[in-house]
Amino acid sequence: MGPDTQTQDLQNRMNHVRNVLRESGLKLTHQRLEILNEVCKADDHPDAETIYRSVRERMPTVSLDTVYRTLWLLLDLGLINALGPSRERVRFDANTEVHHHFVCRKCGVIHDFTSPELDGVQIPEAIRDLGQGEKMHIEVRGLCRDCLKDKASDC
């Protein structure tokens, strides 16, 4: 993928986000566009502080709070992803049998599940180039039954 294609991609991306924001009745602020631009340019999974520092080069008065708010907003809109669950503390699991987790994105409850298909999944060969794989974590995120019920009764 050449630099032209990449630039084109970024343009498309920016336009798409502009549309989503507009359709959601959200304002297209300079801050949001700069932050979006930075997170789209990065391919190394930056944290909020790193994005903050980059944005500040072009926009010295931007606040860290705005960076956080904007990133959570883009996440809610499904325009970016987050690694390592936010607002969560570490939780411990003494169950060492093979099993996986369903994590509720609203209340944070974690349920175990097993699944013949997933239980059999092995660490793929492809990661040999990246390092030595030790453990695989498979996690499904969504809304638990209780939170679905709460949402339904909000009408």
User: Restricting to residues 18-77, which ones interact with DNA according to CB under 7 A?
Assistant: 21-22, 26-32, 47-49, 59, 61-66, 68-70, 72
Beta carbons within 8 Å of 58's beta carbon, 6+ residues apart:
34
Q: Which does 147 bind (CB under 5 to 8 A by kind): Zn ion, Mn ion, DNA, none?
A: Zn ion
Region of residue 25 (left: phi > 0; alpha: psi -120 to 50; beta: else): left
User: Restricting to residues 109-138, which ones interact with Mn ion according to CB under 5 A?
Assistant: 112
Nearer to a second copy, 65 or 139 (CB): 139
The verdict on 144 binding a second copy (CB under 8 A) reads yes
Beta carbons within 8 Å of 112's beta carbon, 6+ residues apart:
95, 99, 100, 101, 102
Q: Which does 107 bind (CB under 5 to 8 A by kind): Zn ion, DNA, a second copy, none?
A: Zn ion
Tell me the closest approach of the beta carbon of residue 13 to DNA, in angstroms.
Answer: 18
The answer to whether the CB of 127 falls within 8 A of the CB of 90 is no
